[in-house]
């Protein structure tokens, strides 16, 4: 399963994206397959997988209608240190995911 979280500003342009990839309907600590961070501005782009840095995650709920997780970590991408502290996500899908 893949979940994308996007934050975008228009003036000046700045987009940050986190993509969480994890086994569907599995829960537990550090079972995340990928945790991609990307950042785009008018004149730069960087992207990296936090699993290549220091990263901890806990998938609390992963059902066909609800996803809950906590995460934190540090990763240096293209010379820029990115730190995520006390990350939390609770997302209820609009309808159940079809299996």
Where do the structural domains in the chain lie, given as residue ranges?
A: 2-92
Alpha carbons 65 and 69: distance in angstroms, whole number: 14
Please write the tens of the pLDDT for every residue from 65-85.
999 999 999 999 999 999 999
Q: What's the predicted TM-score (pTM) here?
A: 0.87
Q: DSSP string covering 9-44, please?
A: EETTEEEEEEEEE--TT--EET--SEEEEEEEESS-
Please write the tens of the pLDDT for every residue from 38-66.
999 888 899 999 999 999 999 999 999 99
Please write the tens of the pLDDT for every residue from 11-39.
889 999 999 999 989 999 999 999 999 99
Alpha carbons 6 and 33: distance in angstroms, whole number: 19
């Amino acid at each position: 399963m893949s979940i994308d979280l996007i934050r975008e500003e228009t003036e000046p342009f700045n987009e940050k994206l986190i993509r969480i990839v994890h086994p569907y309907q599995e829960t537990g600590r550090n079972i995340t397959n990928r945790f991609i961070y990307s950042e785009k501005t008018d004149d730069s782009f960087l992207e990296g997988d936090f699993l290549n840095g220091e990263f901890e995650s806990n998938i609390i709920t992963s059902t066909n209608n609800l996803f809950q997780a906590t995460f934190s970590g540090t990763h240096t991408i293209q010379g820029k240190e990115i730190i995520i502290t006390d990350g939390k996500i609770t997302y209820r899908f609009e309808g159940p995911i079809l299996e």
